[in-house]
A and B are shown apart, each in its own frame.
Chain A
Amino acid sequence: MNYNVNEKGYYGDFGGAYIPEMLYPNVEELRQNYIKVMQEPDFQKEFNELLKEYVGRPTPLYFAKRFSEKYGTKIYLKREDLCHTGAHKVNNTIGQILMAKRLGKTRIIAETGAGQHGVATATVCALMGFECIVYMGAVDIKRQAPNVARMKMLGATVVAAESGSKTLKDATNEAIRDWINNPTDTHYIIGSVVGPHPYPDMVARFQSVISAEVKKQLLEKEGRENPDYVVACVGGGSNAAGIYYHYLDNPEVGIIAVEAAGKGIHSGESAATSALGKEGIIHGSKTLLMQTADGQITEPYSISAGLDYPGVGPMHAHLFRSGRGEFISVTDADAMEAGLELSKLEGIIPAIETSHALAIFNDRKFKKDDVIVINLSGRGDKDLNTYIEYFDLA
């Protein structure tokens, strides 16, 4: 089976471009150009130089000795938290800003949940001198105050999405509306592997630098390119797509996706799409989606602002349905404990998104000589308030 996108923009049953006609010219322009542009030597050169000199790539593949000892297996952490701006998101925004420049766009819009993608977008807009508008749910603006301040310092305008649950889904709706209203000069930098084709594939390709590096680094450390498992948290799923990318067609590498169970899968406050979702359409693509029997999109919940999205990218929906990916969900409580544990065992404070991926060892057992690579997608500075309140650290 093929786990990559086909020429029509589908991963198995999922994907496509279900967009209003108002967005057709923009999406079509991108679809016709993205691969061509990405393959231009000049683009490659600029992209790779910026990843190296500005983002700080390659990021280390760190063997977490104390964490490994605790769980009796070999755990490596791919340190995307060490990227400039503190998360993997910047790999994609660097790529997309270069894409926007080549498509002749002058204005950038973005949506953000945790604020990491918003910061990464505001950063590259500052770098390139583009106007930048970031849509963010009003609820997320409150719980991610440091990232809002960062975006403002970087010159971006942060617009609060006041509809629905006032989180990531609603910020995405507002960004799409902005794009409809500004069809010629604006590029929409989507931050995850969601949205109409070609976004899921384009974002996955920009993030694929993560697994490309893991292959080289693991060869040096373990004498083999392939770990036994790659593990990542999945909201929309961009960090996961990045660390899975070069392993999709290697069946010997297990793919583990970790979703946010929130207060429990059946608590009514959850974002575990693979468990609760059904095939449907959100933000322009057919995927697994949390919805009512009547097709209304429901409001997800997670303590982590980056994971409370009611769908997953179409690549992940396909990995789930085909059985290629193993999907695990982790509660708020288990994620928070795992975040604290990694801090104490390794001196690394992870983003709460990532803490979900770190929490799988409670239930999922591995062999002693299994090599597991976890994508440490972001650092926890932005989540300090949540950690402080949760553990009463003040």
Chain B
Amino acid sequence: MNRINKRLQEDKELLSIYFTAGYPKLEDTVPVIEELVKAGVDMIEIGLPFSDPLADGPTIQESSTAALKNGMTTAKLFEQIKDIRKTVDIPLIVMGYFNPMLQYGVEKFCKECAAIGIDGLIMPDLPLAEYQEHYQAIFEKYDLKMVFLITPQTTDERIKQIDAASDSFIYMVSSASTTGKTSGFGSVQTDYFERIAGLSLNNPQIVGFGIKDEETFKAATKSAKGAIIGSAFITDLTKNGISGISKFIKTIRA
């Protein structure tokens, strides 16, 4: 069974962390992953940096720009993590934008991910229809789970389509926003989380965008299977470096 699906079956609230590969320094990718595992996170999203990350706010864009300046490329990332499965057992997801994948070659990219032991992909700008028409067969051939986003504006009907096309979890964007934008969760979010929980979907949901501390993590996982922290983690990593990772994770989930 795919590591993501296995983890989703566990009876616990999952903490997933997004970080940008090649940041703060080019060779930090593997040390960051290993430190996150040591700190007890359940899943990691490895961000492949992109020059024009439309869905992201300033924090992730700046880390991406820095990583690209450091020399990060798709080939370099695969080279860095080629032996990652010797030391790391938790689910690993590559998150990026579609153009770098397209330039690398979609099939070649998937094949490389499978060889390394990557479990899934998140490509916010590869929408459901394009995926189904052109790429689903390739993703499935390499047992890569494609994770789709939903937002408070996504209709119930479309959520059901996305649920039907998914086979791991649904990335539930907490509010209509780019990453790192929201401040805390109000009743709007809570209502939305409950609406989704009420749809009885086949795939569990993991909440992203706006999770930054213990309070928001708890609020997000009240009705969802887990939560993803991105911008808040990058901000902490920028400030405190790799040695500060375990302390940061403890502030989220003691």
Q: Spell out A's residues near B (CB within 8 Å).
A: 16-22, 24-25, 163-164, 169, 173, 176-177, 180-184, 278-284, 289, 291, 293-298
Are A164 and B52 touching (Cβ within 8 A)?
yes
Are B55 and A24 touching (Cβ within 8 A)?
no
Chain B residues in 8 Å Cβ range of A284: 125
CB-CB contacts below 8 Å: B73-126 with A: 73-75, 97-104, 124-126
Chain B residues in 8 Å Cβ range of A278: 103
Shortest Cβ gap from A27 to chain B (Å):
9
- Cβ-defined partner of B100 (8 Å) among A25, A282, A283, A295: A295
Are A291 and B176 touching (Cβ within 8 A)?
no
- Cβ-defined partner of A21 (8 Å) among B65, B101, B102, B151: B151
Which chain B residue lies CB-closest to A284? Answer: B125
Is B232 an interface position by the 8 A CB rule?
Answer: no
Question: Interface digits, B64-75 against A, CB 8 Å rule (1 contact, 0 not)?
Answer: 010010000111
Contacts A180-B176, A281-B99, A282-B52: A19 and B127 contacting too (C-beta < 8 A)?
A: yes
Chain B residues in 8 Å Cβ range of A184: 153, 176
Shortest Cβ gap from B105 to chain A (Å):
10
Are A296 and B127 touching (Cβ within 8 A)?
no
Chain A residues in 8 Å Cβ range of B75: 294
- Cβ-defined partner of B57 (8 Å) among A177, A289, A291, A293: A177
Chain A residues in 8 Å Cβ range of B124: 20-21
Chain A residues in 8 Å Cβ range of B55: 20, 22, 180
Contacts A18-B126, A21-B127, A295-B74: A173 and B54 contacting too (C-beta < 8 A)?
A: yes
Is B43 an interface position by the 8 A CB rule?
Answer: no
Are B173 and A282 touching (Cβ within 8 A)?
no
Chain B residues in 8 Å Cβ range of A177: 54, 57, 178
Chain A residues in 8 Å Cβ range of B11: none
* Interface residues of B, count at CB 8 A: 39
Contacts A24-B158, A177-B178: A18 and B127 contacting too (C-beta < 8 A)?
A: yes
Are A297 and B99 touching (Cβ within 8 A)?
yes
- Top 3 nearest A-B pairs (CB, nearest first) are A295-B103, A295-B100, A21-B149
Which chain B residue lies CB-closest to A296? Answer: B51
Chain B residues in 8 Å Cβ range of A164: 51-52, 65
Contacts A24-B154, A25-B154, A296-B100: A18 and B176 contacting too (C-beta < 8 A)?
A: no
Are B68 and A296 touching (Cβ within 8 A)?
yes
Are B52 and A22 touching (Cβ within 8 A)?
no
Shortest Cβ gap from B104 to chain A (Å):
7
Is B10 an interface position by the 8 A CB rule?
Answer: no
- Cβ-defined partner of B176 (8 Å) among A169, A183, A281, A289: A183
Are B178 and A295 touching (Cβ within 8 A)?
no
Chain A residues in 8 Å Cβ range of B151: 21-22, 183
- Cβ-defined partner of B153 (8 Å) among A25, A173, A295: A25
Are B176 and A22 touching (Cβ within 8 A)?
yes
Chain B residues in 8 Å Cβ range of A169: 52
Q: List 5 A-B contacts (CB under 8 A).
A: A18-B98, A21-B127, A295-B99, A295-B104, A297-B52
Which chain B residue lies CB-closest to A28? Answer: B158
Are A294 and B102 touching (Cβ within 8 A)?
no
Are B52 and A17 touching (Cβ within 8 A)?
no
State in angstroms the CA–CA spacing of A19 and B130 once bound together.
10
State in angstroms the CA–CA spacing of A17 and B99 once bound together.
13
Are B127 and A291 touching (Cβ within 8 A)?
no
Contacts A176-B54, A294-B103: A181 and B154 contacting too (C-beta < 8 A)?
A: no
Chain B residues in 8 Å Cβ range of A180: 54-55, 176-178
Chain B residues in 8 Å Cβ range of A279: 102
Shortest Cβ gap from B182 to chain A (Å):
10
Is B224 an interface position by the 8 A CB rule?
Answer: no
State in angstroms the CA–CA spacing of A119 and B102 once bound together.
36
Chain A residues in 8 Å Cβ range of B50: 295-296
Which chain B residue lies CB-closest to A279? Answer: B102
Is B150 an interface position by the 8 A CB rule?
Answer: yes
Are A181 and B176 touching (Cβ within 8 A)?
yes
Chain B residues in 8 Å Cβ range of A183: 151, 153, 176
Shortest Cβ gap from B221 to chain A (Å):
21
